Structure formats: structure tokens, C-alpha cells
Amino acid sequence: MLHCIEKPENHCVYFDNFFTSKNLLIHLRNLGFRATGTVRENRVGYCPLLSSNELKKTIRGNSDYQLDRNGVVLFVRWHDNRCVTIGTNFDKVESLGAATRYSRQASKNTQGQQPAVLKAYNTYMGGVDHNDWLVEKYAMVIRGKKWYWVLFTCMLVMAFVNAWLLYRLVYGENALDLLDFRRSVGVTYLKLETGRPNIGRPMEYPSSQLRVIPDIRFDGIGHMIDKSSM
């Protein structure tokens, strides 16, 4: 994905924990990329960070950080709502910022310390995290023995989310929320009249109008071909 970038030194790369490892961050540094990504706890190599169980016993906002043996990659583990581990080949811990979180004990929003590398990650990784959050809001659950159903439903939900984001760009403040948008799409497909009988050979459609409900045909978006004066 980075082969198309001609000047790596002009870019900072942010990604989640699916592929992140110490070796990847070192490799990207050798290529000239500044990179930061969340890391799974078993991929920090021999970096002696506090375990998540130990860090959870401290107050929210505490963190632990260490450089790897070669002094190239910095790993930071931060106690937020859960413990988050992040690795970077260029960023730093200080200066500490403030993160606002809701405290159940105090029943109000409180502020805790946040390392600089976490603040930068949240700033530049927002698009992917926001997409994941939208996908999880109304995730489809189909129980079955076929492992690939999860891939199918995930792609379907992501298609809904991406379609809704494009829809919001067109309608702005007048756009439906995600739940109502999904409902409207479902209702539209339920109202479709295919004109096909239940049994026997499929009949030919006399016209395309049978497959399109009036709400779509006359919405003025330009789905149907009109005569032009040009």
C-alpha cells in the first residue's frame, strides 16, 4: 500500500493492531516512514512493560513505556477504559495531554493524563476507528456453522455504513440517521415487485418500471434517463 509514495519522509502512517509488530515498525523506519500503530500485547517482543492486569490496578490515566532493545521502537501501555498498547518509531510520550472520560465512581466526566503518542494516534486514526464504531452499532448476528457468514455480514454492514456516509454528503443536515437509513433501505427492498411467479420459468420483464418503486423513480436524483435539449 505504501509503494506509491515517492517521498516517505513527508508522511506519517497510522494503523490498527491487525498487522502491527516491532519488526514492522523497524522495517517502515528503514524505508523512511514515520509510523505509529496499536499493538497486541503479545507482539511487543521482550520490551518489559507492565502487564494489562497490573496496570488496571492503578488509576485511570497511568501509563508505562519502554524502548525496545535497539532503542528504535517506543512502546506505551496506557490505562484508559481498557489498557491500550501502542508502538511508534518516531513519536514520544511527553508532553502529557488531558483526556476526558466518564467516571462511574464519580458519576461525572473526569480528566486523566494522556501520552502525546496516544493523542496523535486518536487525531489521525479517527476515520478508521469511526467506521469500526459505526459498523459495531448495528452489527448483524447470524448464528450458523459456516465460518464465512461472518465475512458476508461484515461486508454487508460496511456497505450500509459507506452508503450512509455518501448519503450524508449529499443531504447534509436533512439526512436520516444510520438506523433510519438502514430501515428505509430494508423497506425499499421489501416493496420491490419483481414480477416473477413463484414457480415455472422466469417471465421477461415488460418494462423496468416493475422493478422500481415510485419513491425511487420520482425522487429527482436522476436514476431514470430523461430527454435532454443538448
Whole-angstrom Cα distance, residue 196 to residue 141? Answer: 30
| Highest-confidence segment of 3-7, 73-77, 97-101, 196-200 | 73-77
> Mean pLDDT lowest for which of 57-61, 161-165, 214-218?
214-218
DSSP letter string, 158-177: HHHHHHHHHHHHHHGGGPPP
Q: Is the pLDDT reported for residue 121 higher than 70?
A: yes
What per-residue confidence (pLDDT) applies to 32?
Answer: 94
Mean pLDDT of the chain: 82
In this predicted model, which residue has the larger pLDDT, 204 or 88?
A: 88
Tell me the CA distances in angstroms from 103 to 38, 60, 106, 159, one per residue in order.
24, 9, 5, 35
Q: Is the pLDDT reported for residue 53 higher than 70?
A: yes
| pLDDT classification of 30: cutoffs 50, 70, 90 | very high
| pLDDT classification of 144: cutoffs 50, 70, 90 | confident
Instruction: For 134, list phi and psi in degrees, rounded to 5.
Output: -65, -40
Q: Are 158 and 128 in contact (CB under 8 A)?
A: no
What per-residue confidence (pLDDT) applies to 208?
Answer: 47
In this predicted model, which residue has the larger pLDDT, 163 or 230?
A: 163
Q: Is the pLDDT reported for residue 96 higher than 90?
A: no
Render pLDDT for 197-227 as a digit per residue (tens, 0 to 9): 555 555 554 454 445 666 666 666 655 566 6
Region 96-120: what's the mean pLDDT? 80
Q: Is the pLDDT reported for residue 47 higher than 80?
A: yes
